[in-house]
Structure 1
Amino acid sequence: MKQRNNSRMAFTLIELLVVIAIIAILVALLLPAVQQAREAARRSACKNKMKQIGLALHNYHDTHSVFPPGQVAGGDCDDTKGTAGVTAMNMNGLVMLLPSLEQGALYDQLDFNKAFNVKVQSSIPLAGGDATFNGTLIDRDLDIFLCPSDPGPVSQSLSPTYYDPPGQTAVHRTNYDFTALRDHDVCNYWTKRTSRPMFEDGSKCKIRDISDGTTNTAMVLETRQACCGNGQNAHWAARGWVQVGLSLSSQAPNTTVRSGVDHKPRLGDWGWTGSYHQGGIQMVLADGGVRFLSENTDYSIRLNLEIINDGQVLNEF
C-alpha cells in the first residue's frame, strides 16, 4: 500500500518577497507610462476645445466682419481716458461666442441691455442699473472653457472683494481667454494704440488689421488662474478689473507670481498665462491653428506673438 504524501507546495518567504519586488518594479515602470498616456489624452482634448473656440471666433468674424471685443464696456476704467456717456457692461467677449459653442439657448436668455458684473472705482453707471439678471444666468460651469488637465475646482465661492457679481454663488472659471496687453483702467484703448494685441476693452480687430500675419499672432491663450480676489477674474462671462485677457509679454508661461495684494503665490495669475501641460501652454493662433508654446520661449518672440502689427520678423518657436 502506497503511503500518501501529505507535504504541500508553498512559497518560501524569500520567494514571496521576490514576487512582490517584481510586481513593484513593473508598477514603477508602467505607472508613468499610463500617466503620460492619460495626460496626452487630456492635452489632446484641451487642444480640441481650443480649436472649437478658434473656429467660433472665425464664425463670428464671418458673420460680423470683426472679432468680438475682449471686454464689453468695462466698469473699471479711468473715465478721463475712456468714452464719456457709456454705461458699464463688464462682459467678457467670450459670451459672444456662445451660439457657435452649442450654447445658443443660454445666449438667447441673456439681456445685453443689462450689466454682467458690478462696477469698480468708476463713475460710469451700470447698464440696466443692476447686474443681478445676467449674473444669475451665468452662474454655471461650461465645460468648453475648462482644460481637462487642470485638477483645480471648476468653480470657486465668491470672496468678499471687488469681484462680487450679483446673483452668482461662485466664480465659474475659464482656462482660455483672449490675448491682451497688461494695461488696465483704460476704456476703449485699443483704438488709441499704434501697436495692438487682438483684444482689449472695446477692441474691433478685423483680419485685415493683423498685418503681421494670422500664423504669427496669438489669439487665445491658456491660464491656470483660479482666483477672483481683488479684481482678477477667470470667469468665462463677466470681467472684474485689472485684466481684459491674458498677456504673453508680462511674464513667461507658468511663472510663479507673488501678488503684492494678497501675497499668495500662484501660477498664471493677474492676466498671465499658465497650464498644467508640462513645459508650456497651448495657444490658438489667429488663423485658427493650435500650437504649443514652451515656457522657455524668449521674451521678444512672446511680444511679437502678442502684437498684430509690429512689423517684426517672428523667429521660430
Structure 2
Amino acid sequence: MTSLLLAVLTTAPIPPAPGQEAPDAPRASAVAPFVGEETFAVLHVDLSSLDIDGLARRLLAGFMTPREVDEATGGLSSWVESLREAGARSFFLVVDPADLPGLPIAVVPMTEGADAEAIGRILCGGGEGADAAFPVSWPTCATFRGAVFAGTDAALGRLRGREPVARPGFDAAFAAPGDAPVRLLIAPSDDQRRVVEEMLPALPGPLEGTPVSALSRGMRWAALSLEDQPRPTLRLAIQAADEPAARQLEDLARDGLGWVKAETGGDASMAEFARDLDRIEIRVEGNRLELVADLEQAAALVGAPLRRAREAAKRAQCVNNIKQLGLAMHNYHERHKSFPPAYSTDAEGRPLLSWRVHLLAFLEEQTLFDEFHLDEPWDSPHNAALISRMPDVFRCPSANLAEDGLTTYLVPRGESTIFPGAERVTLKEITDGTSNTVFVIDAGPDLAVPWTRPADWEAGEGDEPDLGGLFGNHPGGTNAGFADGSVRFLREEIDPGTWRKLLTIAGGEAFGPDDY
C-alpha cells in the first residue's frame, strides 16, 4: 500500500471484541488493544482539553517572538482543530521498537459522532492539500478494534496478527498524572531492561559508577505530564520497585541536577537557568518519586540554553546576510566602476530609490529589479506595491519588527563616508583601507526603514556620532560589514570617536581591532 492511501476505512466504529471495554471507557483501555509486549512508551493527548496556542505562548515566549510562536504552532494548531472537528477526542502515539526509526503508530479511539473516514484523511493525508496543511502523514490508515489506526503496512499486519496483551505498567502510569492534557508514559519490557543493562553497565557522566540497573530495575514506569490546572505544571512521576529504589532514584535526580547547575554556574548568562534548577520540587512518598516544576519555570529551563543557541544561529545568519551585501557591493563596483550611491535621484536631484534596490541584480533578484520603475520614487503607487516583497537578505533574523518590508541593514550616510548621498565612491578613494571602513550596519529596530526608501543611518560630521538606536538586535553589540568584505561584531561600549574613525574613508586615523 503506498503513501496517502486509506485502507479498510469505515465510517462507523467496529464493536469491541468480547471482554474488551467500550471505546468510550478509560483512556488506558482505549489504547490497550494497540499495546504489545515490547511497546516502550505511549504519548496521550487529550484533544478535548488541549489549548495548544496557550501552552505554546507560555512555553516559547521566553525565546520566540509572538510572530515566531504563531508560525511554529500554526500547522499543528490547525491539525489538532481538524481532528476535533472530525469528532476525535483523544490521540495516542504508541512507541514500539518494531516501528523505529520510522514514525510510531497513531491511534484515535472512536467516540460517538466521530467520523472515521475524515480522521483517516487527516492522519494519512488523503485529502487535497492535506500534506501542506498537516505536519505529519502516515502511509496507511485503517479502522479496527474501535479506533482509527495510522502507521505502516507492516505495523498494521503485526497488530492484526496478534491478540492484545496486558501491560499493567501502562495502566498504572495512566492513572498517575490525572487529567493532564498531555502525558508521556514509559514502561520498558523485561527484554528492553536487559538489553540496556548489557549495552550500558554503568551510568555515564556525572553519575559514573552507578549501575544502570538503578534505573532499569529500580524504575517500574514513569509518567511525564503537562498539566494546566490548577497551575501550569510539568510533573514527572516515577514508580520505583520499592522505597529504597525510590530513594536511590531521588539521589540520582539530585546529583544530575546538581551537575547541570555546576556546569552552568560559571556562565553569567545562565544564572537564571541555574536558579530555576533549585526551584524543581523533588519528593519521595513510599515507592513513588515525583519531580514537579512550574510550567513557566520549565520553559525557562529550556529557554535559557535555547535562547543562546537561537541567538547564535540568528547572529550567524545576520553575518551571512551582510557578507552577501558586501559581495554584491563589490560586484556592483566591478561593473559600474564605483559603489552604488546611497540613493538614486531624478533630474531635479530628488531622492528616488535606495541602494538596496540597485543591488538587486547582484543578489540574484534581477526579476524583482526589473519590476521597479526607476524613474519614480520609492513610495509611488507602483513601487510601493513592491515593498512587501523584500528579499530575505535584507532581513536580520534577530530584528523584532512589527511590519513586513522593513530592514535594519543601513549604510552610514555623511560627506566623509562611502555613501555621502547621490554621489558615488570608488575603491581608490578609500585611503584609510577597506578593512578600516564600515560598509553596512545592522541598526536597532527603532531605526528600521522600508527597504526601498532612500533612508539610512545619518552619521553626521561631528567627532562623536550619535549612536542612539544603533544597537538592539543582538545582545552586547551589533554586526557591521566592512569594505574589505569582512563582518565584525562591534560592542555597545565602543568609543564614539572610534566609530567616527571606522566611518570615514580618508581620515588618516590610526587604530587597531582592540579599539572596537
- Same fold judged by TM-score > 0.5? yes
Q: 1:200 aligns with which of 408, 420, 423?
A: 420
| Equivalent residue pairs, number | 232
Tell me which residue corresponds to 1:3: none
**Structure 1 residue matching 2:396: 3-state secondary structure:** coil
Larger radius of gyration: 2
**Structure 2 residue matching 1:63: 3-state secondary structure:** helix
Tell me which residue corresponds to 1:140: 389
How many angstroms does 1:96 deviate by? 0.8
2:350 and 2:426 map into 1 onto residues whose CA distance is 24
Instruction: Note if contact 1:173-1:226 (Cα within 8 Å) is conserved in structure 2.
Output: no
> Where do 1:179-218 residues align within 5 Å?
179-181=412-414, 190=415, 196-218=416-438
Q: Which has the higher strand share?
A: 2
Tell me which residue corresponds to 1:235: 450
How many angstroms does 1:29 deviate by? 5.0
**Structure 1 residue matching 2:419: 3-state secondary structure:** coil
Instruction: Note if contact 1:52-1:101 (Cα within 8 Å) is conserved in structure 2.
Output: yes
1:87 and 1:25 map into 2 onto residues whose CA distance is 58
Tell me which residue corresponds to 1:173: 406
How many angstroms does 1:113 deviate by? 2.2
Tell me which residue corresponds to 1:53: 325
Matched, 1:250 2:465: yes
1:149-190 deviation digits (Å, cap 9, x = unpaired): 1222242xxxxxxxxxxxxxxxx2112011223xxxxxxxx4
Q: 1:41 aligns with which of 305, 313, 317?
A: 313
How many angstroms does 1:90 deviate by? 2.5
1:277 and 1:108 map into 2 onto residues whose CA distance is 34
How many angstroms does 1:101 deviate by? 1.4
TM-score normalised to structure 2 length? 0.41
Tell me which residue corresponds to 1:220: 440
Matched, 1:151 2:400: yes
Q: Which has the higher helix share?
A: 2
2:305 and 2:330 map into 1 onto residues whose CA distance is 37
How many angstroms does 1:288 deviate by? 0.8
Instruction: Note if contact 1:149-1:277 (Cα within 8 Å) is conserved in structure 2.
Output: yes
Instruction: Note if contact 1:200-1:244 (Cα within 8 Å) is conserved in structure 2.
Output: no
1:145 and 1:112 map into 2 onto residues whose CA distance is 20
1:55 and 1:213 map into 2 onto residues whose CA distance is 17
How many angstroms does 1:112 deviate by? 1.7
Tell me which residue corresponds to 1:312: 509
1:25 and 1:116 map into 2 onto residues whose CA distance is 47
How many angstroms does 1:19 deviate by? 1.5
Q: Percent of pairs identical after alignment?
A: 29
1:261-302 deviation digits (Å, cap 9, x = unpaired): xxxxxxx2xxxx223210010000010100000010011110
Instruction: Note if contact 1:146-1:176 (Cα within 8 Å) is conserved in structure 2.
Output: yes
1:70 and 1:18 map into 2 onto residues whose CA distance is 63
Tell me which residue corresponds to 2:372: 110
TM-score normalised to structure 1 length? 0.65
Counterpart amino acid of residue 235 in structure 1:
P
1:119-149 deviation digits (Å, cap 9, x = unpaired): xxxxxxxxxxxx2232233343322111111
Instruction: Compare 86-95 and 204-213 and name the one that shifted more.
Output: 86-95
